[in-house]
Amino acid sequence: MASLENLPFFFFLSTLFYTSINENLPKNSLISCSSSVNCGHGLSIGYPFWPQNQELEFCGYPGLGLSCNSHSHEPILSLHKNLYCVKSLDESQKTLTITYNEVNSMTICPVARHDFASNSSILFPKDNKMVHFFYNCTVYPPSVPDIKCLQRGAKHSYAFVNGSVPEFDWNQYCEDIVSVPVMKKGIEGFLGKGFGEVLKVGFVLTWKADSACQSCEDSGGFCGYKDRINHNQTFFCFCNERHHAHNCYDQTGEVSTAPSQPHYVIAGAVIFGGLITTSFILYLVQEKRIGVHKSGFSQIPRNYEK
């Protein structure tokens, strides 16, 4: 039987075991939803955006996953398999300013290599104007200024703001045509300093929740999707420690994205309680044995008394 001196060890062991269980439990949804992306460039971006490099990104809007540029340390947004640098964000207006990943402040002759396209039903262009680029044209209208740094022998390239494209069969004589949005305030730079400055300024997008997500947020919850990485999206509304099917008021549709968590809690509590109970019983048994020992000792005849 364990001695009384071993009781502190049992208490320490049980406490350590219970603490270990709790430390390894999945965190609740509010902690996950409050995480942000900070690539070290001074811009911290949180919900509804989420870290794209996490194994389980389940809190945020679909299509708003962010990674980090290892060179510029800027947040990167992927839209329709194209990469864009996030320059600024206004949460109150729900807008963000992005630039083309291949264009930076050091680029001497920036080029828009692809049309802007978004596979997201959440993000929409806002306060922008389209600029059209015509690359490597073998025939071109006379007296139209070209992009000098893009001239390749007899091939010339051009850029025009939407509504100011000269009448000409550009599709027939140019190798590539790209249309991209730019900030309206950047149009002045386009007219005065050239197309390169416009591309460096970037353009603005706004985000808007769909009806299901809006209902969730209106009830005080956070929107999320289970198994987003596997493209098998199931919508959930995260409310405190519970996961609801629709919103925080939906008591009949409560579900959990981490069903094993309650079992861990129950198992940990039972084991912890068992260890405490066992320690207490050992203490009582030990006390009883000591009492019996003292009582028996007092009844031994003292032959040395005279």
The answer to the question of residue 194 being in a domain is yes
Count the domains in the chain: 2
The answer to the question of residue 118 being in a domain is yes
Last residue of a domain, one of 165, 184, 208: 208
Last residue of a domain, one of 208, 224, 251: 208
Q: How many helices (H) and strands (E) does the chain have?
A: 7, 16
The answer to the question of residue 68 being in a domain is no
The two three-digit tokens of residue 306, written as one number: 């005279």
Tens place of pLDDT per residue across the chain (306 aa): 445 455 454 444 444 444 443 344 344 444 468 778 888 878 889 999 988 865 554 688 888 889 998 888 899 999 888 899 999 999 999 999 999 887 776 677 888 888 888 767 889 999 999 999 999 999 999 888 888 888 889 999 999 989 989 999 999 999 999 999 998 877 765 654 567 777 888 899 999 999 999 999 999 999 988 765 556 678 889 888 688 889 998 875 554 444 434 444 444 454 555 556 666 565 565 666 555 444 443 444 444 444
What does DSSP assign to residue 13? H
How does 239-263 read in b/e, with b if 16+ C-beta sit within 10 Å?
beebbbebbbbbeeeeeebbeeeee
The answer to the question of residue 253 being in a domain is no
C-alpha distance from residue 209 to each of 47, 165, 167, 216 (Å): 12, 36, 41, 10
Q: Which residues contact 65 (CB under 8 A, 6 or more apart)?
A: 49, 50, 51, 52, 57, 77, 78, 228
Overall pTM > 0.95: no
The answer to the question of residue 219 being in a domain is no
Nearest 10 degrees: Cα torsion 279, 282, 284, 289: -160
Q: Which residues contact 257 (CB under 8 A, 6 or more apart)?
A: 58, 224, 226, 236, 243
Distance of CA 120 to the CA centre of its chain: 16
**Do residues 109 and 200 share a domain?**
yes
Domain of residue 107 covers 103-208
The answer to the question of residue 30 being in a domain is no
In the sheet that holds 174-183, the strands lie side by side as 156-161, 128-137, 174-183
The answer to the question of residue 113 being in a domain is yes
The answer to the question of residue 143 being in a domain is yes
**Do residues 192 and 273 share a domain?**
no
